[in-house]
């Protein structure tokens, strides 16, 4: 079901869990999403003090004039999977006559505030301030981009690069008329370092999905000043990393992770069976990565963007050198008496099973060449 798909995608951001904290919200809108939210809160709140006004069973005109005058509610939240903007306009006309409460869109305001790490119950701005420098890292999956983002974040002068426009945003844009440019503009105002630098990360397949939605995809490239293209030379190792991550459902491990998670990961690795089906999957991912990288280069070229190319293996060889290359490319000045101390909490995830998969894949390819 489309609704379930959208909300499940959103939950990777812990959105509804965070929204469950405020009390006394007045939700108004379509029955299906209202029920989903109410059911979610029933499983995650001891007591639900919110009110849910279903517009399929009630009319806006039926709201009593004194409903919002008692001080019982903190905010009115408009909920629609089809078009929040239209419903917001209608609700404002009806309610603003009797209430000074903030009237917020579930996705267009509260979801955006969540990603911007702002107070949840306030309207987003359509007139945002552009940062001094805005950059994006473009890359394919399992290229070491999370590690690079961690290193850049630890400089304290290169923004807080992270994968902001991913599955949740993709699903909202595809199914709910969600304006991801409004999100991007708000991120560029609120998720910056003190020197006015904003950084983000765009993974190829999410980027290309957004390309099929509204608003105009080219506006992303007009909003961002500079681009970094992160590539991994060893595409086979990258493909195997992607297959293993999908098999184990473990995408990253952190240095401060509990030993139990590490043990569970090792157990999942031990259960991976190397057979022809898995090796076929590796080949499919290998080809996929090559094609995605080529598409990224084409998109950059079509948008007249000349990126800085950074190689993952070069970061492993000398991280500080590569971070300095990036800072120079972005023209980020280092403060007086600045000492670079870069670090990352991301743990590298090489494994014997990954090496075995690589060896068997290469062996199969070599046999194929001989017999062919």
CATH code, domain with 33 = 3.40.50
Q: Are residues 15 and 154 in the same domain?
A: no
User: Could you tell me how far CA 220 lies from the centroid of its own chain?
Assistant: 15
Angle at 139 between CA 10 and CA 185, to 5 degrees: 55
Q: Are residues 101 and 148 in the same domain?
A: no
The answer to whether residue 125 is domain-embedded is: no
Q: Are the beta carbons of 307 and 227 closer than 8 angstroms?
A: yes
User: Could you tell me how far CA 184 lies from the centroid of its own chain?
Assistant: 11
Phi, psi for 197 (deg, rounded to 5): -105, 130
Cis peptide leading into residue 59 (ω within 30°)? no
Q: Are residues 57 and 141 in the same domain?
A: no
Residues 6+ apart with CB under 8 A from 5: 171, 175
The answer to whether residue 317 is domain-embedded is: yes
The answer to whether residue 121 is domain-embedded is: no
What is the pLDDT of the chain when averaged over all its residues? 92
Q: Are residues 169 and 216 in the same domain?
A: yes
Q: Are residues 137 and 32 in the same domain?
A: no
The answer to whether residue 199 is domain-embedded is: yes
What is the predicted pLDDT for the residue at 371?
Answer: 53
Range of the domain at 339: 133-366
Q: Are residues 86 and 139 in the same domain?
A: no
The answer to whether residue 126 is domain-embedded is: no
The answer to whether residue 73 is domain-embedded is: yes
- What percentage of residues in the chain have a pLDDT greater than 70? 95
pLDDT higher than 60, residue 248: yes
pLDDT higher than 90, residue 126: no
15-51: per-residue pLDDT in tens?
999 999 999 999 999 999 999 999 999 999 999 999 9
Question: Across residues 275-301, what is the average pLDDT?
Answer: 97
Question: Across residues 134-146, what is the average pLDDT?
Answer: 97
Where are the extended beta strands (E) located within the chain? 25-29, 51-54, 75-79, 103-105, 133-139, 197-203, 226-231, 253-254, 308-311, 346-347
Question: Looking at 116, 144, 176, which one is the last position of a domain?
Answer: 116
CA gap 322, 74 in Å, rounded: 48
The answer to whether residue 332 is domain-embedded is: yes
pLDDT higher than 80, residue 356: yes
What is the predicted pLDDT for the residue at 243?
Answer: 97
Question: Looking at 116, 150, 180, which one is the last position of a domain?
Answer: 116
The answer to whether residue 128 is domain-embedded is: no
- Looking at residue 61, the DSSP 8-state letter turns out to be G
Q: Are residues 190 and 298 in the same domain?
A: yes
278: how many CB neighbours lie within 10 A of its CB?
A: 17
Q: Are residues 154 and 76 in the same domain?
A: no
Instruction: Using DSSP bridges, classify how beta strands 133-139 and 226-231 pair: parallel, antiparallel or unpaired.
Output: parallel
CA gap 363, 275 in Å, rounded: 13
What is the predicted pLDDT for the residue at 107?
Answer: 97
- What percentage of residues in the chain have a pLDDT greater than 90? 76
73-88: per-residue pLDDT in tens?
999 999 999 889 999 9
| Total tally of structural domains belonging to the chain | 2
Residues 6+ apart with CB under 8 A from 34: 27, 52, 53, 54, 79
- Looking at residue 347, the DSSP 8-state letter turns out to be E
What is the predicted pLDDT for the residue at 368?
Answer: 62
Token pair for 315: 């970061």
Q: Are residues 185 and 111 in the same domain?
A: no
Check which CATH number belongs to the domain holding 171 and give it. Answer: 3.40.50.300
Q: Are residues 196 and 70 in the same domain?
A: no
321-343: per-residue pLDDT in tens?
999 999 999 999 999 999 999 99
* Torsion sign over Cα 137, 142, 147, 153: positive
214: how many CB neighbours lie within 10 A of its CB?
A: 13
Q: How confident is the model at residue 262 (pLDDT cuts 50, 70, 90)?
A: confident
Question: Looking at 116, 151, 172, which one is the last position of a domain?
Answer: 116
Q: Are residues 78 and 174 in the same domain?
A: no
- Continuous segment of H or E residues that includes residue 362: helix 352-371
pLDDT higher than 80, residue 97: no
SS3 (DSSP) at 66: coil
DSSP secondary structure letters along 123-159: PPPSSPPPPSEEEEEEE-TTSSHHHHHHHHHHTSSS-
Q: Are residues 61 and 103 in the same domain?
A: yes
């Amino acid at each position: 079901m489309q609704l379930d798909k959208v909300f499940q995608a959103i939950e990777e951001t812990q959105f509804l869990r965070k929204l469950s904290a405020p009390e006394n919200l007045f939700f108004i809108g379509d029955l299906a999403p209202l029920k989903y939210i109410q059911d979610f809160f029933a499983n995650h709140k001891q007591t639900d003090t919110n009110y849910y006004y279903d517009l399929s069973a009630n009319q806006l005109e039926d709201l009593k004039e004194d409903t919002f005058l008692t001080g019982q509610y903190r905010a009115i939240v408009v909920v629609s999977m089809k078009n929040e903007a239209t419903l917001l306009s209608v609700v404002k006309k009806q309610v603003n006559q009797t209430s000074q409460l903030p009237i917020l869109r579930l996705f267009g305001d509260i979801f955006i505030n969540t990603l911007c790490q702002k107070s949840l119950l306030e309207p987003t701005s359509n007139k945002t301030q552009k940062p001094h420098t805005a950059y994006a890292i473009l890359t394919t999956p399992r290229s070491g981009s999370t590690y690079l983002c961690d290193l850049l974040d630890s400089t304290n002068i290169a923004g807080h690069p992270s994968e902001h426009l991913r599955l949740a945003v993709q699903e909202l844009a595809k199914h709910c008329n969600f304006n991801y440019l409004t999100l991007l503009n708000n991120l560029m105002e609120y998720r910056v370092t003190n020197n006015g630098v904003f950084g983000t990360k765009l993974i190829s397949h999410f980027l290309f999905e957004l390309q099929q939605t509204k608003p105009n995809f080219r506006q992303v490239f007009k909003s961002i000043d500079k681009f970094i293209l992160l590539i991994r030379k060893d595409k086979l190792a990258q493909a195997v990393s992607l297959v293993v991550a999908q098999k184990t459902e473990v995408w990253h491990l952190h240095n401060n992770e509990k030993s139990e998670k590490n043990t569970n990961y090792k157990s999942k690795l031990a259960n991976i069976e190397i057979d022809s089906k898995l090796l076929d999957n590796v080949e499919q991912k290998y080809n996929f990565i090559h094609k995605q990288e080529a598409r990224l280069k084409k998109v950059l070229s079509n948008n007249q963007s000349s990126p800085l190319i950074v190689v993952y293996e070069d970061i492993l060889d000398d991280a500080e050198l590569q971070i300095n290359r990036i800072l120079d490319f972005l023209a980020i000045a280092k403060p007086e008496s600045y000492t670079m101390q870069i670090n990352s909490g991301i743990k590298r995830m090489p494994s014997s099973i990954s090496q075995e998969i690589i060896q068997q894949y290469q062996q199969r390819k070599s046999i194929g060449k001989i017999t062919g």
